[in-house]
Amino acid sequence: MKNIITKISIVTLMLTGIFSSADAQKALKVLFIGNSFCFYPTSSTNLPTLFKGLCTAAGKTVTTDMDANPGQYFDGSGGHSTSSTTYAKIRSQKWDYVILQDNQGYFAGYVHGISNSACFPANNRVRDSVYKNNPCAHVIWFSGWGYQGGIPTQIPGDNTTVMNNRIDSNYQYLNDQYPTKKELIAPFGKAWNAAIAVQPSIDPVLFYTDGNHPSATGQYSNAAVLYTMIFKQDPSAVNYTVSGVTTANATLVRAKAYQTVLTPYIYNSHQMAKSTPVVANNSGVLSISGGNYTAYQWYLNNVAISGATSSTYTPTAAGSYMVIATTNSCDNQWSFPIVVTATAVQESVNNSNIVVYPNPVSSESVIELKDMDWEGCKIEIVNMIGQTVQSQRLTSNIYRIYKNDFTTGMYIYTITDKEGNKFLGKINVM
């Protein structure tokens, strides 16, 4: 193990999400305001519960609450915009995120054909009260779904995905009416469409038995969308089991939720760009762009880096870097991760001294140390959100990997020798 040269290379992983963007350094508070589309199908599988469960499984701390009653609209007598209960709930905490879910029927008609002229002003009254309570809050419009199969008797050719697209277009239309106050839009219906596109049989599974409300699978998909939007991470790496949701369906909707949010058209039109600092690699220096930021804190592997409080940072160690950028004392704008990978190269044998085969892992694979002294080496395998999955001392030059010990996804292994040199690589588990 002589003549080791350590090189630092930087890989941007915004679209692959290989590492965590940070288990952010404060607990987030998330409020849901809506109706039965939030609290269906049960108290243990409603949207706030599944979102919190997914976050907990990923090692994050969130506080959730909900103000939702059957059939409740935002406008009219008893609507959220005139409800003292709703405004009291808003004032009860300094919420970081507030999800506003109006009756989706208002948005399900023809594009730019909202069926109630009082809908937009009512939604905006509630939105404005959120900002009055906490100017640093983020409001998220709930762009959902309509009826399973759509309403073809009223709109010829309609179906589930066409109706969901129409709802989403009308939420963008809502944003366009207030161009200086455009809010985040959660593409719940779009994520359902993405899952249906690759597995048409999941269409009825996303719905409750009434063909309108969400099932546990549907709400699981919605929770994954919110997780992606808020934490800027890929939920595919989170191992979260929910009663009534098959492993295959959970895997599918988590992946499609992430992909949907990061689809370029949706990322921009649904206002993700405005709330996401962009970290770039400029010749080995990490820098931030986008937004009128006034303060910065850089993190390495979820830990604040002492003194790293400028708009640039030069990495000195391998790991997952992100930044929380502050605008007018609001400190909850997180970046997607960027990964700095240390690649050790032995001059006498180049970099072929560690091999993984077969890779991807479909059943059983091995990591083999060739022409290396394995004694005293330690291996650690982490998932895409930075959680350690396996960690132990090597007992030979062969380390076996079994598919059944992992969930589907990408992993990073690190082998540390007795001299402290680190060797990193990727493992893809199918």
Place of tokens 């809502």: 174
Q: How far is CA 91 from CA 62, 85, 113, 305, in A?
A: 18, 10, 33, 34
**Distance from CA of residue 137 to its chain's centroid?**
18
3-class DSSP state for residue 398? strand
Tokens of 70: 């059957």
Which residue in 364, 429, 412, 321 sits closest to 22, CA to CA? Answer: 321
Q: Return the pLDDT at 414.
A: 83
Per-residue pLDDT of the chain (430 residues; tens, 9 = 90+): 333 333 444 444 443 343 343 444 578 999 999 999 999 999 999 999 999 999 999 988 999 999 999 999 999 999 999 999 999 999 999 999 999 999 998 898 877 667 667 899 999 999 999 999 999 999 999 999 999 999 999 999 999 999 999 999 999 999 998 888 899 999 999 999 999 999 999 999 999 999 999 999 999 999 999 999 998 888 988 999 999 999 999 999 999 999 999 888 898 999 998 888 888 767 678 888 777 888 899 988 778 899 999 999 988 777 778 888 888 777 668 888 777 764 332 322 234 678 888 988 989 999 999 878 889 999 988 876 667 789 999 999 999 999 888 888 778 888 888 888 878 788 888 8
Place of tokens 């809908």: 119
Q: Return the pLDDT at 329.
A: 75
Which residue in 135, 139, 137, 166 sits closest to 150, CA to CA? Answer: 166
Q: Return the pLDDT at 14.
A: 42
Domain locations in the chain as residue ranges: 28-274, 277-339, 349-429
DSSP string over 62-101 = EEEEEEE-TT--SSSTTSGGG-HHHHHHHHTS--SEEEE-
Q: Return the pLDDT at 9.
A: 44
DSSP H stretches of helix in 262-333: 264-269
Could you say which of 1.10.357, 3.40.630, 2.60.40, 3.10.20 is the CATH number of the domain covering 277-339?
2.60.40
Q: How far is CA 326 from CA 62, 146, 276, 334, in A?
A: 20, 38, 11, 9
Range 349-429: architecture per CATH: Sandwich (2.60)
3-class DSSP state for residue 23? coil
CA atoms within 13 A on the CB side of 187: 31
> Taking a C-beta distance cutoff of 8 angstroms, is the pair 96, 138 a contact?
yes
Q: Which CATH class is domain 28-274?
A: alpha beta
Tokens of 94: 């300094």
The backbone torsions φ and ψ at residue 225, rounded to the nearest 5 degrees and listed phi first, read -65, -50
Say yes or no: do domains 277-339 and 349-429 share a fold.
yes
What does the alpha-carbon distance between residue 255 and residue 157 come to, in Å, rounded to a whole number?
A: 29
What does the alpha-carbon distance between residue 296 and residue 383 come to, in Å, rounded to a whole number?
A: 27
Contacts of residue 287, defined as CB under 8 A and 6 or more positions apart, other chains included, come to 279, 280, 311, 312
What does the alpha-carbon distance between residue 19 and residue 237 come to, in Å, rounded to a whole number?
A: 9
